[in-house]
């Protein structure tokens, strides 16, 4: 394959992110992109990145990567609400 030619798919392939439930062993498909024959892999990866971004998968993974006690979680939510209200007040002043 030449270096200047784009990579193309020769068969139907699916790029998938799966989430496995720990207690039940259940699998959920979080994002899936099917690549058609002749479609470039760069195009498929762009579609996959867009789908992951639209479904906020990265945000959910980061949110579940550590445990916050209920009181800590409430403090974080309140701090975010204060930050949003200050930002809204600044916008209204301008």
Q: Report the pLDDT value the prediction gives residue 70, as an integer from 0 to 100.
A: 93
Q: Is the pLDDT of residue 6 over 80?
A: no
pLDDT tens, 9-48? 555 666 666 655 555 666 666 777 888 788 888 888 888 8
Q: Binning pLDDT at 50, 70 and 90, where does residue 72 land?
A: very high
Q: Convert the pLDDT of each residue in 47-58 to its tens digit.
A: 888 888 888 888
| Model confidence, pTM | 0.48
CB neighbours of residue 75 within 10 Å: 12
Torsion on CA atoms 43, 47, 49, 53, rounded to nearest 10: 160
Instruction: Report how far residue 74's alpha carbon sits from residue 84's, in angstroms, rounded to the nearest whole number.
Output: 15
Residue reference for tokens 């204060």: 82
């Amino acid at each position: 394959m030449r270096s200047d030619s784009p990579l193309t798919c020769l068969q139907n392939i699916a790029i998938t992110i799966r989430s496995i439930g720990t207690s039940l062993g259940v699998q959920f498909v979080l994002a899936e992109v099917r690549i058609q024959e002749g479609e470039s892999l760069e195009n498929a990866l762009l579609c996959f990145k867009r789908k992951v971004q639209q479904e906020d998968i990265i945000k959910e993974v980061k949110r579940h990567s550590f445990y916050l006690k209920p009181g800590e979680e409430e403090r974080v939510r309140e701090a975010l609400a204060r930050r949003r209200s200050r930002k809204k007040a600044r916008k209204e002043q301008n």
